[in-house]
Structure 1
Amino acid sequence: MSHSGSPVRDQTLTKASTRQPVNRNEVLLEVKDLSVIFQQRHGRATRAVDKVSFSVKPGEVVGIVGESGSGKSVTSMAVMGLLPSRATQIAGEANYRGRNLLTLGAKEMSDLRGREIAMVFQDPMSSLNPVIPIGLQVTEVLTRHNDISRADARGEAEDLLRRCGIPDPGRRLREYPHQLSGGMRQRALIAIALACKPALLICDEPTTALDVTIQAQVLELLKELVNDLGTAMVMITHDLGVVAGLCDFVNVMYAGRIVESAPRRELFAHPRHRYTEGLLQSIPRLDAPRGEPLTPIPGTPRDVIAWSKACAFAPRCRHAADDCVVGDLNLMPMGRGGHQVRCVHPADAPDPPQEIRR
């Protein structure tokens, strides 16, 4: 597989020159108080996403980071209109260029998906159809949204694979997903997502199944596409290394809510929420003394309290006190660049007195 370098970048720039200029100060997607509730048997309900708000501009990469089960993927699926309608309650707004995606019908969303909003899913092997050649899966998007012949669509598909760094794209078009390596399958997914040059790209753990070398190539490709095409990107991941290398602004999620949001440099330099602090402390460091153990976050993501009653992270927090479990918490401004945190006793603040510790 060829490495992402100047040839791929030059081809991307050439193709990008035909795209109309974008207004990088425009808010392309604004999510307001998004909530998703899954109804279960016997009247029980699971609140997977709880009052989530964020926005993204053209040419900006906004990260949503957190452990598995924090609500990251459900948030993206709700925005894309991909959640099942049965036993699912969705509230709030997801305004894309002034249109609330949550109120659009199936046909309207189908017209937007692929053409203006695209998504790169986590597992390419399960996202690609195993019995359809790669070429047909790419050209299907082009013929669905553009007035283009099959022959022209095939030529465009070959060019897409080439710009995404897939060698011998003409042959790859005739192959099936199982004949491609993991990295090439992920690049094929990216090519499908970018076929119609969408204004907004949502990436749900796009590098999880890849080795470190291929992961770096895919991230470099995504970075080039954002810079060259002005594409807005929402990057969903649990990998803080991906966040550090790609994102401009970061939202940290826990138990369905955003607990901290900040510019990338501010977040890594001054993490305020105890959950963010715990995530960073649990990452191995090259400059750490040899033999020094990592500091894991105690408990599991299932150890939570309802947000309406307390800080959901309190059962796992070493700094929790009695006043952490006395009611709902809102995001509060702290620090620079729009830094916000949902915490009673944030980092860099004095610990509560010993007598009120839980």
Structure 2
Amino acid sequence: MVTQPITELSTRARDIFRLVVETYIDSGQPVGSRTVSRFSGLNLSPASIRNVMQDLEEAGLLAAPHTSAGRVPTETGLRLFVDGMMQTGELSDDERRQIEAQAGRGGPVEDALAATSAALSGLSACAGIVLVPRHETILKQLTFLPLNEGRAVAVLVGGDGSVENRVVDLPPGVTGSALVEAGNYVTARLGGLTLAEAQTRLRDEIGRGRAALDTAAQALVERGLAMWSEDGAQRPVLIVRGAANLIDEGTAGNLDRVRQLLDEIEGKEELVRLLDSARGARAMKVFIGSENKLFSLSGSSVIAAPYHGSDGRVVGVVGVIGPTRLNYARVVPMVDFTAQTLSRLMA
């Protein structure tokens, strides 16, 4: 359904629609005409308000979940509200301090991102999400230490001083001298390269007969680089904090929806793809319910904003997942400020 332009609604319809949306977001319950008349100050009878709400329902902006109940905004209505009617609030000084304190806590960047996501989750009462900058390991040194028959420990030293150990199965015919030869070759010929670059150069040198390694040592180096590349590709690049916030009074009565929502978050690969679509945005992106297929069944919303590195390029995305009735006016500036804070962290 195409969203009706806000300019096509009468002033009375806009006022009533805004009141219904804001009241629903605040209470989570369908809003009746008597409620609107009691708090609106519109000086309209419940019958007049009811007629306008009926018009809004026919326009696809409101829906009646039960015949005798009030109305709730549809996803189309929420989109109209967010894009054309919402007035965003201001963060308090305390909220700003909490976000900045977690971003500036020091230590590994991933820890600061996780802590910032947790702070955002706590303040917004949603699940906080951060798409972490992809980090490619730079090879500095690789050593193979014999462990037992058929296995060795591969010790990789990264360009940033990080050290990682992996147990690797040895190809047939690998001797102690081959372990030393393989490690020396990687350090001398492939040091300073990323894993992908190292694999490319190794294949090129083997292809041209310039690898200066015997067959067993070649197989060992190939196996070691492939193992680390695969391991790096499978590392989660998404941090999720506060998923328990998504189970509230409204969702607890619908266990299937709760289960679906948690499954959707657990499937991080799909969620990463969704957030990746926000990388190209210059500012905030708001996905409401079925506007994205990932959350079409659970009916959840995502607010996401990109953050930037020292060169100004987008390096990641921060945001929240919450119910479609989340307080967009409060959470949107919260996510925006968090993205600005992370950009300063990465500078």
TM-score of the aligned structures, taking structure 1 as reference length = 0.25
Please say which structure displays the higher CA radius of gyration.
2
